[in-house]
Chain A
C-alpha cells in the first residue's frame, strides 16, 4: 500500500486533504509515531484510523447528551486552566521550584484537554473563556460576600476576576477540590458518552479523567509536604474529607436537580440507586449493593471508601462550579 500515493489521489478530488491532516495534527502525529512500531498487519488499521480522524465523526452530528457532557467538561477545564495559570503568575504565592514545576505540568495538561475537547466538539464547542470569566473568591464578581471567607485570598476584593492569589495553603486546598470535582464530573458524564457511535469520545474522556486523578494525587502530596510525609491529606479521598466538606458546603445557585448544599466530596442527586444513576458522597462503602469495607480483612478502617471514587451528576457539578463564575448565569448551564 502506497499511503502517500493514496493521499495524493485524494488531494485530486479533495484539495483540502492536507489541511485536514494538518488541522488535526494529532491524527497525523499519532500515525507517524505509530509508524515506528507499525507492522504490515497493523498498517490497514493505522491508515483507516488516520482517515477516520481526519474526516471523522467530530464534525458530524454528535448526540446532544454528548455535546452537553463535553461542553461542561470544557468549562471545567477552563476553570482549572486559569486557576493554575493565575497561581503561576502570582508572585505573592511563593511557590517553590518543585511546586511551580508541578503546576506548570498540570496547567499545560489542562490546556491540552481544552484543545482536545474543542477539537472533538468542533463547531459545537462553547466560545472560549478567559480569566475574567471566573471569580475564585466566590464573590461572583463582587455581587455577594464570598461564601467561604478564606477564598478571598484567591483574587482579593478589589478586582476578583483578575487579582493575584496570595495564600498558598488556600490555593492548594481549592486546587485539590477543583480537580476532585473534575474527576467526579468526568466519571458522572462517562455513561452519556457510551453510545455506539461515540466510543472513541468515551475513551478520550476516560483518558482525560485518569489524568485529572493523577493531578489530584500530586496536589495532595504537595499539600502534605511531599511523599515522605505521613500527615493528611492522603493522595486519595478519605472519609473525613466528606465530613469536613459538610461543615462548609457551597450553595447550589438554584440549579435544579442538585442538593441544596453541595461540595466536592458531598453527594449529588440522587444519592442512592444503581451505580450509573446514583451519586453518593465520598464516604460511600456500598458498591452495587456490596459492602466494600467489611470484606477481605482490610487492615485500614477507611480503605473501602478510599478504594472507590464517586461520580457526580452534571447538575451538581454545575451547582458547585457556578460559585466560581464571575457571572453565574453565564457559565455552567
Chain B
C-alpha cells in the first residue's frame, strides 16, 4: 500500500511504533485478498484432474440459474422415483406429502428449463441413486432411507440457494431464488419432523448452540438454543456440489468453478 507522505525514516520508525488503526484495517483487507487468491490458486490446481468430465454451470447469473436447475433436476428425479413405488408401509399422509414434493420440484425444474433460454446446461442430468434404498422409509442398513435422502436433498437445497444469493447480480433472479428457497425450507422442516419430532431447526442446519439462561429485557428467562446466530448454515457451491455429485452419475456431475 503506497503512502507517499511517509519518508523512509518514518516508515522505519513505524516498524517499532504502534501502527495506526487505519493501517491495520488495510492490513486486514489485504489478508482477505491474499486469502482469496490463495484459495483461487488451489482451486485451479484441483481442477485439472477431478473436474475432467464435469459439467460446469458457467459464470455470472446464468451460472447460478444453471446451478439451481441442476439441483432441481436432481430433486425432481428423486421424488419421481419415490412416488413411482412408495417405500414399505408408507402412510396416506406420507404419500400425499411426497407426491406434493414431487410436483413442487418438477414445477421448479420446468421453470428453470424455460427461464434459461441461452447457455442452459443439459436437461437430462442422470442421477445415481445407488446409495438410496427406495424400499425403506428411513435408513436401516448401509443405504439411505427415503426420508433421510429427502432430508439431505432439502437441507442441501436450502443451504445452496442461501449460499448462492450473494453471487446474483440481477435482482429479478434473486427474487425468484427467494420464492423457491422458502418452499424448500418448508419441505426440509417437514421431512425432518417426519423423522424426528421438533427437529425442524437443529444445529446441523442452523447455527444454534444450547447454553445457559439468557434474558431479554422485559421478559422471563429464556433457556435452550440461545447462543449462536439462529441463521441457516448456508453453503457455497463447491461445498454443495461435493454432496450433490454423489447423487449424479459420471458425465452428469456438476462443477461451479466461477463461484468461490
Kindly state the separation between the CA atoms of A174 and B165 in the bound complex, as whole angstroms.
30
Known: A292-B110, A296-B106, A307-B183. Contact between A112 and B35, CB under 8 A? Answer: no
- Contact between A105 and B225, CB atoms less than 8 A apart: yes
> Within the complex, what minimum Cβ distance (angstroms) separates A220 from chain B?
8
Q: With CB as the reference atom, state the residue of chain B lying closest to A200.
A: B166
B189 & A235 in contact (Cβ 8 Å cutoff): yes
A-B contact count (CB 8 A): 293
Interface of B is mostly: helix
Residues of A within 8 A of B252 (CB): none
Give residues of chain A (227-242) contacting chain B, Cβ–Cβ below 8 Å.
227-230, 234-236
Mask of B225-238 contacts with A, CB within 8 angstroms, 1/0 = 11111111110000
CA of A104 to CA of B207, assembled, Å: 16
Which of A190, A202, A311 has the largest number of chain B CB atoms within 10 A? A190
Judged by a CB distance under 8 angstroms, whether A297 is at the interface is yes
Q: Bound state CA distance, A202 and B100, in angstroms?
A: 30
Cross-chain contact A190 with B220 (CB below 8 angstroms): no
State the CA gap A135–B12 with chains docked (Å): 64
Closest to A184 in B: B182
Which of A131, A214, A221, A310 has the largest count of B CB atoms less than 10 A from its CB? A214
Which range holds the interface residue count of chain A?
Answer: 35 or more
Verify A300–B185 contact, CB threshold 8 A: no
Task: State the Cβ distance, A268 to closest chain B Cβ, in Å.
Answer: 13
Q: How far is the CB of B34 from chain A (nearest CB, A)?
A: 6
Name the A residues within 8 Å of B182 (CB-CB): 183, 187, 209-210, 212-213, 309
Closest to B100 in A: A300
B52 CB contacts on chain A under 8 angstroms: none
Restricting to B156-176, which residues have a CB under 8 Å from any CB of A? 158, 161-163, 165-166, 168-169, 171-176
3 A-B pairs closest in CB distance: A112-B230, A44-B35, A303-B103
Apart from A206-B161, A207-B233, A235-B189, 16 more pairs, CB < 8 Å: A10-B24, A45-B35, A48-B31, A81-B219, A111-B214, A116-B230, A116-B231, A200-B166, A203-B163, A209-B181, A210-B184, A235-B187, A275-B179, A293-B107, A295-B110, A300-B100
